[in-house]
């Protein structure tokens, strides 16, 4: 049962890699705010990579849950006890691995909306190429959140603080540039 979620992890990882290759091979973007669809291409590629990373995390969440379920069922069978149901493992809160996978997805979803808004705002009002650069940095910082979540505090800050700074910088400079426009 774990093979299906892991095939999703691998497929989404391949999509993320392919998107990064496309971004690397894309031609230069004119400096300044994006005024054409072509100027938005780097931002669209970052958006595609962010969605691929989301699916990596979602499929990992499923794989982790199914792995824990299989392990707990083996233990229950060996001990002559009732095997847990999927919902008990997924929503029961008894596994550190499931909690880490859940928090990885939950935190990513919490941060994805501010990231995308600041990414597109920065591209529209400041610079599409810089928005893409900050976007790739944000994806990198978010990519290892699951690893540092399991470490003692303050390791988690190695993922969250740099990612927040990317969002805050893009949002702040976009708001500043928009406020400077004459109406």
Orientation angle between helical segments 3-25 and 41-79, nearest 10 degrees? 160
CA dihedral 15, 19, 132, 115 (to 10 degrees): -10
Q: What is the pLDDT of residues 146-170, one digit of tens each?
A: 999 989 999 999 999 999 999 999 9
Hey, what are 54's tokens?
């989301």
Name the nearest CA neighbour of 88 among 62, 104, 63, 69: 69
In this prediction, residue 92 carries a pLDDT of 75
Q: Are 159 and 148 in contact (CB under 8 A)?
A: yes
Q: What is the pLDDT of residues 4-63, one digit of tens each?
A: 667 878 788 888 888 888 888 887 777 889 988 889 999 999 999 999 999 999 999 988
Q: What is the pLDDT of residues 66-76, one digit of tens each?
A: 888 888 888 88
91-100: average pLDDT:
80
pLDDT beyond 60 at 1: no
């Amino acid at each position: 049962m774990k093979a299906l979620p892991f095939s999703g992890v691998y497929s989404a990882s391949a999509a993320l890699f392919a998107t990064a290759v496309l971004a690397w091979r894309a031609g230069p973007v004119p400096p300044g705010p994006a005024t054409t669809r072509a100027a938005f291409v780097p931002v669209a590629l970052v958006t595609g990579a962010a969605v691929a990373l989301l699916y990596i995390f979602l499929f990992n969440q499923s794989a982790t849950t199914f792995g824990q379920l299989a392990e707990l069922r083996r233990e229950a069978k060996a001990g002559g006890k009732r095997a847990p149901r999927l919902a008990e493992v997924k929503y029961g809160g008894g596994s550190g691995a499931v909690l880490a996978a859940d928090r990885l997805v939950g935190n990513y979803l919490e941060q994805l909306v501010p990231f995308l808004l600041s990414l597109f705002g920065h591209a529209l009002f400041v610079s599409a190429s810089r928005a893409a650069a900050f976007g790739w940095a944000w994806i990198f910082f978010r990519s290892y959140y699951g690893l540092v979540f399991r470490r003692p505090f303050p390791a988690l800050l190695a993922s969250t603080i740099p990612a927040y700074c990317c969002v805050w910088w893009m949002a702040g400079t976009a708001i500043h540039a928009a406020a400077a426009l004459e109406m």
